[in-house]
Structure formats: structure tokens, C-alpha cells
């Protein structure tokens, strides 16, 4: 059972089970993420490029982020995110697409947000995703990968600010 760790929905459990094959971000890592970003995300737009269970996007919503955009190409995972969003009456902008579609072939961001969070499957290299989706982040990009992953020095125009490890996950934070 996944519970939200902060904000107005703190302590509430997700209504739908995590789909098979989806690795949700641990509560410890989500707490660390929002410790880095801040507990109050009022007037901050948030983009979760790999929606998975929807827990990270719902955490952002719980802390006041608006709009919260969630990208998920897997239909089962997208249905779970929709169920969880409906249970919390969270108006997530849930998009049926691959995260690569957030940027044109020319490298121009088609969708931007103040904060971009990317957590691709652990079997994928994180570097190409950070490089590709960097232009989507207006102020901060946070990438989660398996501990030991190599992160690029920049994400678009954002330099790497810090890297922190939490168990088997590592967060890399890019910001101006």
C-alpha cells in the first residue's frame, strides 16, 4: 500500500494497486524529493514525465502544485493513475503518450513546467532522458535513477546542482 507523505492528502493511501512491472518511487525518496523542492508548491507547475503509479504527481498536487501534468504511455498504469486521481479529486492533466513526445525532433520543448520530474524504468539509461527533456524544465529538473547511474552535467540550460542517494535510488537535481 502506497501512502502520500505530505500536503493536504498526507497519510492517504492510493486507491488502486500499482500495476505489474511498475516500480513506484519509495516513500523515502518522495519525502527527499519534496524536501529538496519544498513542501509548499503553490503556483508551481509540475510535470511527471513517467507517471507509473501516480504517487509522485499526487504528492505534488497535495502540496499545492498546479497544473500537474502526468505523462504515461502504459494503458494499465494510466488507468491506475486516473483511478487514484479521481479518488482524491485531483485534477491531473493525464496524457497518453511517451515522454519523448514532450520535445520535438528539433529539441524544442512542446510542454514546459516549473518543475520536471523524470523517473524512467531503471533498465533505461538516465542520461539521454535528462538531455532530451531538459528543455521542458523552466526552473528545476529532478531525475531519479538506480544508484550508480551516471548523470550528465546539464539538463538543457540547467546545471547539475546536487546528487543524493536514498537506498537503491539516486536523485539528481538540476537548477539555475
Overall fold of domain 7-175: Rossmann fold (3.40.50)
Domain ranges in the chain?
A: 7-175
> Which residues of the chain have a pLDDT value below 70?
none
**pLDDT for position 171:** 97
What is residue 17's predicted lDDT score, i.e. its pLDDT?
A: 78
Residues 122-149 have pLDDT tens digits of: 889 999 999 999 999 999 999 999 999 9
What is the per-residue pLDDT for 172?
98
Q: d(Cα 64, Cα 124) in Å, to the nearest integer?
A: 31
pLDDT at 67: 98
The whole model's pTM is what? Answer: 0.94
Per-residue cell: 9: 492528502
Amino acid at each position: 500500500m502506497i501512502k502520500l507523505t505530505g500536503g493536504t492528502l498526507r497519510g492517504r493511501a492510493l486507491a488502486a494497486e500499482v500495476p505489474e512491472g511498475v516500480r513506484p518511487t519509495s516513500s523515502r525518496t518522495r519525502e527527499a524529493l519534496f524536501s529538496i523542492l519544498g513542501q509548499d508548491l503553490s503556483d508551481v507547475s509540475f510535470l511527471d514525465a513517467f507517471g507509473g503509479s501516480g504517487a509522485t504527481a499526487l504528492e505534488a498536487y497535495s502540496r499545492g502544485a498546479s497544473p500537474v501534468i502526468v505523462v504515461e504511455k502504459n494503458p494499465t498504469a494510466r488507468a491506475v493513475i486516473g483511478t487514484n486521481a479521481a479518488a482524491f479529486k485531483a485534477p491531473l492533466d493525464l496524457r497518453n503518450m511517451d515522454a519523448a513526445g514532450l520535445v520535438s525532433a528539433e529539441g524544442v520543448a512542446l510542454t514546459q513546467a516549473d518543475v520536471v520530474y523524470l523517473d524512467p524504468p531503471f533498465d533505461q539509461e538516465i542520461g539521454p532522458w535528462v538531455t532530451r527533456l531538459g528543455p521542458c524544465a523552466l526552473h528545476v529538473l529532478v531525475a531519479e535513477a538506480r544508484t550508480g547511474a551516471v548523470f550528465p552535467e546539464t539538463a538543457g540550460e540547467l546545471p547539475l546542482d546536487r546528487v543524493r542517494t536514498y537506498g537503491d535510488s539516486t536523485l539528481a537535481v538540476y537548477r539555475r
